[in-house]
């Protein structure tokens, strides 16, 4: 396990100056313990770290499972790990040992926030449940994320992002007529991370006003329900589920991905003014006053007809030609990008949405998403790359009062 300052060949950037402002972070001085794995908790703490918090990622001695998923470096770290763990320090720890439990106690005593994603039984076994943490530090803020939420019949079940997708009603409504399709983008995980981060900030705001800590709970299922709530409202009030329609709109038309000579273009038309502009674009002004297209609901019912018209209009045209015409008529459209297209997009490059960060063992600097929101006075920053396994163990233990000999002994006995 690497210590700070000893990195394999292949990159630098353990504590790099990132581009942009050098102003103090909003959360400078806030201390966070990250017991998260995969996305829901780690991305939450990454946002806190971007804003200046000192985040310590506590991992098993062999590394958290999420470190090694979809490896992109010589050392085996995965792309999602590199994204979700920038700006953090890594401590390896066997918390099941008496010495490990004592290290955990010292960590908690010096922390402001603890973040974890695991069922309550696992939290208790690790000494991370709210009552145990409160006994160590009365004003601690605990932020936990589970699959389904605590207190119900599913609370002890484990689940990943897909569980939220398929149990929210969303996957039932998306895909092909004969086959539901969940999205490969883990939006439930990332959505839970963002809602958890909002909850943590609310709890921190309350703490600064009152001195009181509290337990912030997030879960995959309610996050997914939030995102599919309109479908549930429609079903409950109208008693209907609209059919799966591939890429076509769920409530408006024309709306689809349309094939052009060199790729695909998305168009989404909503509202009568936009529909009238679209009619002028394709030379079908006769449709403007047709009762079949009087509003979004009836246009959706005749969506096959309208989408076919748009596909016919696109046929033989290039992506650039179609997008230029749609922009001229002020219609919301976008090209479908490949991953290569995204990496080469001039707007993405100009605004710095992806920052190139060196990482040991990576073949070249890694494109890491910048803080996904921007503050004019106190922007988030990527100050350091994701840590190597145990990279800061010695440093963190020294901060807790352990001498070099004690640290060496803990290593010898495989506590850290």
Query: Which pTM value belongs to this model?
Result: 0.91
The Cα–Cα gap between 190 and 199 comes to 14
Report the phi/psi class of residue 276: left, alpha or beta, with left for phi > 0 and alpha for psi in -120 to 50: alpha
The Cα–Cα gap between 36 and 40 comes to 7
Q: Is the peptide bond before 23 cis (omega within 30 degrees of 0)?
A: no
pLDDT (tens digit per residue) in 374-408: 999 999 999 999 999 999 999 999 999 999 999 99
The Cα–Cα gap between 55 and 196 comes to 15
Domains and CATH numbers, the chain: 31-230+373-413 (3.40.50.10540), 255-334 (3.30.1540.10)
pLDDT (tens digit per residue) in 345-377: 999 999 999 999 999 999 999 999 999 999 999
Instruction: Work out the average pLDDT over 179-193.
Output: 95
Residue with tokens 């010292």: 106
Residue with tokens 């920052």: 355
Instruction: Work out the average pLDDT over 212-232.
Output: 96
What tokens does 124 get? 């208790």
Residue 23: predicted pLDDT: 62
What per-residue string of b and e applies to 207-233 under the rule 16 or more CB within 10 Å gives b?
A: beeeeebbbbbbbbbbbbbebbeebee
The Cα–Cα gap between 213 and 386 comes to 29
Residue 3: predicted pLDDT: 46
Reduced to 3 DSSP states, what percent helix, strand and coil does the chain have, rounded to the nearest 5?
Answer: 40, 15, 45
Give the number of other Cβ atoms within 10 Å of residue 358's Cβ.
16
Residue 123: predicted pLDDT: 86
Give the number of other Cβ atoms within 10 Å of residue 243's Cβ.
9
Instruction: Work out the average pLDDT over 217-223.
Output: 97
7: pLDDT strictly greater than 70: no
Cα 207 to chain centroid distance, Å, stands at 26
Residue 118: predicted pLDDT: 81
């Amino acid at each position: 396990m690497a210590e700070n300052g000893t990195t394999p060949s292949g990159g630098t950037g353990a504590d790099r100056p990132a581009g942009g402002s050098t102003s103090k972070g909003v959360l400078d001085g806030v201390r966070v313990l990250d017991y998260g794995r995969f996305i829901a908790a780690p991305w939450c703490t990454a946002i806190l770290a971007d804003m200046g918090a000192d985040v310590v990622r506590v991992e098993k001695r062999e590394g958290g499972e999420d470190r090694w998923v979809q490896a992109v470096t010589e050392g085996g770290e995965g792309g999602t790990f590199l994204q979700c763990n920038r700006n953090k320090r890594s401590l390896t720890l066997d918390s099941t040992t008496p010495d490990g439990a004592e290290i955990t106690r010292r960590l908690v005593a010096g922390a402001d926030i603890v973040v974890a994603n695991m069922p309550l039984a696992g939290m208790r076994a690790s000494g991370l449940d709210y009552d145990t943490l409160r006994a160590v530090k009365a004003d601690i803020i605990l932020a936990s994320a589970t699959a389904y939420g605590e207190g119900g019949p599913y609370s002890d079940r484990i689940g990943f992002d897909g569980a939220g997708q398929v149990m929210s009603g969303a996957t039932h409504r998306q895909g092909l007529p004969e086959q539901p399709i969940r999205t490969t983008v883990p939006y439930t995980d990332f959505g839970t991370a963002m809602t958890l981060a909002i909850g943590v900030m609310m709890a921190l705001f309350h703490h600064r006003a009152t001195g009181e800590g509290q337990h912030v709970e997030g879960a995959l299922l309610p996050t997914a329900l939030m995102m599919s709530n309109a479908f549930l409202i429609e079903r409950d009030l109208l008693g209907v589920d609209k059919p799966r329609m591939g890429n076509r709109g769920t409530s408006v038309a024309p709306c689809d991905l349309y094939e052009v000579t060199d790729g695909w273009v998305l168009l989404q038309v909503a509202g009568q003014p936009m529909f009238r502009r679209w009619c002028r674009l394709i030379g079908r002004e006769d449709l403007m006053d047709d009762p079949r297209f009087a509003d979004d609901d009836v246009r959706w019912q005749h969506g096959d007809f309208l989408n076919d018209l748009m596909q016919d209009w696109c046929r033989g045209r290039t992506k650039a030609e179609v997008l230029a015409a749609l922009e001229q008529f002020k219609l919301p459209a976008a090209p479908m990008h490949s991953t290569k297209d995204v990496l080469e997009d001039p707007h993405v490059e100009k605004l710095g949405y992806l920052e190139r960060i060196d990482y040991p063992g990576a073949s070249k600097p890694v494109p890491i998403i910048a803080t996904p929101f921007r503050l004019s006075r106190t922007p988030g920053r990527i100050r350091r790359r994701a840590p190597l396994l145990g990279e800061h163990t010695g440093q963190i233990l020294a901060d807790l009062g352990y001498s070099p000999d004690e640290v060496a002994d803990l290593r010898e006995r495989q506590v850290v």
